[in-house]
Amino acid sequence: MLDISARIAQLRRPSLLIKAARFGLDEYTRDVHLRRILKTDSIPRPAPAVMQLLDVESAINTARIEKQATYSVARHVDVMIALMAEAQILRATTRPT
């Protein structure tokens, strides 16, 4: 099984999707957005949050690739914003001092 940073590094998504997500990073509020995206009352720590977000994003990306009617660009961007923000938090909290 790949570790979290390897899974994130292997993500290949359209550049427009990534650019749109980067614009939303400044507005990301962990309490509000993560609860809504993961549909949970308790906020997980960064590592489990990233793993859950990777799974959610993978399902959304599959819908995108398969051109399913259920695919939502807005939701995909929303999840990518959360994934990028949580990955930043994870990197910041796991850096050697």
- State both tokens at 30: 């962990």
- pLDDT value for 1: 39
pTM of the model: 0.90
**CA 33, CA 85: separation in Å to the nearest integer?**
11
List the pLDDT tens digit at each of the 97 positions of the chain. Answer: 358 777 888 889 999 999 999 999 999 999 999 999 999 989 999 999 999 999 999 999 999 999 999 999 999 999 999 999 999 999 888 766 5
Furthest CA-CA distance within the chain: 47
Tell me if 38 sits within 8 A of 56, measured CB to CB: yes
Predicted local confidence at residue 18, as pLDDT: 94
Measured on CA atoms in the order 81, 83, 69, 41, is the torsion positive or negative? negative
The pLDDT of residue 59: 96
